[in-house]
């Protein structure tokens, strides 16, 4: 049995530069990863099976177009594997929340199958398969801080944040990635500047925030709540929303913010974690 973490993905900054002819958008982004997220378990079995458990299992269906199953079937085709596997997804992250849940789950499935069948994690066929599954899957497969360009899948390694305390919060409002990108105003406001990873993130922005707020007005209030917490270094929406995050100077400030948000907004989802 192999247990593989599928950590939450955050975009410290997300600059949309233009629309591409292939239906995607030209991006510049800073990817970082939390220490916590979903969990994928893979076991050799007599027949294939897929089950979803966890607090957000109801938001997904174990159907053929689930990204985990697409990753499983793509791996079998790419590497000529005919063995059966029983796969369980422990869904701990909200669905359609801007923190790469589905992409992280697919990437974790690929990593687990690669370990099980002796495939190197940087095998070009594995990387190509990840890219075919979605723009964020290569970054989640890489699993470390990176600068992403193109669709977001051209990756350059970056120094991480060294387990910086962070609080992720979602108002439990689903936001469609396609709908948010469709509302982007089409203005290229420039690329991400130079500097260390945190400095680049703080100087950057999320060009999808206005579009997400138009769909889910709760996002603006959420960011305001996080930005007002003592000890905040950066508060921003991740990806296409609606999850927002705050980075903190220390654990005590993060934990105090977690308690304050829980008290003021008990219906919101929260994850107190660190960012590698």
pLDDT digits (tens, 9 = 90+) for 221-241: 999 999 999 999 999 999 999
Q: Are 99 and 270 in contact (CB under 8 A)?
A: no
Q: Are 66 and 48 in contact (CB under 8 A)?
A: no
Q: Which residues are CB-contacts of 103 (< 8 A; sequence separation ≥ 6)? A: 9, 67, 133, 134, 136, 137, 139, 140
Domains and CATH numbers, the chain: 2-157 (3.30.230.10), 164-275 (3.30.70.890)
In percent, the amount of the chain with pLDDT more than 70 equals: 99
Residues labelled catalytic: 9, 136
Q: How far apart are CA 143 and CA 7, in angstroms?
A: 8
Q: Are 151 and 135 in contact (CB under 8 A)?
A: yes
Q: Is 255 left (phi over 0), alpha (psi -120 to 50) or beta?
A: alpha
Total-model pTM:
0.95
Q: How far apart are CA 231 and CA 244, in angstroms?
A: 16
DSSP 170: E
Q: Predicted confidence band at 147 (pLDDT cuts at 50, 70, 90)?
A: very high
pLDDT digits (tens, 9 = 90+) for 73-122: 999 999 999 999 999 999 999 998 999 999 999 999 999 999 999 999 99
Q: For position 63, what pLDDT does the model report?
A: 59
The yes-or-no verdict on residue 64 having pLDDT over 80 is no
How much is the mean pLDDT over the chain?
Answer: 96
């Amino acid at each position: 049995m192999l247990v593989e973490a599928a950590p939450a993905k955050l975009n410290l900054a997300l600059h949309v530069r233009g629309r591409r002819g292939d239906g995607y958008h030209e991006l510049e982004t800073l990817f970082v990863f939390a220490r916590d997220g979903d969990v994928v378990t893979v076991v050799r079995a007599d027949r294939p099976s897929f089950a979803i458990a966890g607090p957000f299992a109801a938001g997904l269906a174990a159907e053929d177009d689930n990204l985990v199953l697409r990753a499983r079937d793509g791996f079998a085709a790419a590497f000529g594997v005919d063995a059966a596997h029983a796969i369980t997804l422990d869904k701990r992250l909200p669905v359609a929340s801007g923190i790469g849940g589905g992409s992280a789950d697919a990437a974790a499935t690929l990593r687990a199958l690669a370990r099980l069948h002796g495939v190197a994690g940087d095998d070009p066929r594995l990387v190509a398969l990840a890219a075919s599954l979605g723009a964020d899957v290569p970054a989640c497969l890489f699993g470390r801080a990176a600068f992403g360009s193109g669709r977001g899948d051209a990756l350059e390694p970056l120094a991480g944040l060294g387990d910086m305390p962070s609080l992720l919060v979602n108002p439990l409002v689903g936001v469609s990635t396609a709908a948010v990108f469709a509302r982007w105003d089409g203005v290229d406001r420039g690329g991400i500047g130079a500097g260390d990873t945190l400095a680049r993130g703080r100087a950057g922005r999320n060009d999808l925030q206005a579009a997400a707020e138009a769909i889910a007005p709760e996002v603006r209030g959420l960011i305001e709540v996080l930005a007002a917490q003592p000890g905040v270094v950066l508060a921003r929406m991740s990806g296409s929303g609606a999850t927002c995050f705050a980075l903190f100077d220390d654990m005590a400030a993060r934990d105090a913010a977690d308690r304050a948000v829980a008290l003021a907004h008990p219906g919101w989802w929260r994850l107190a974690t660190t960012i590698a």
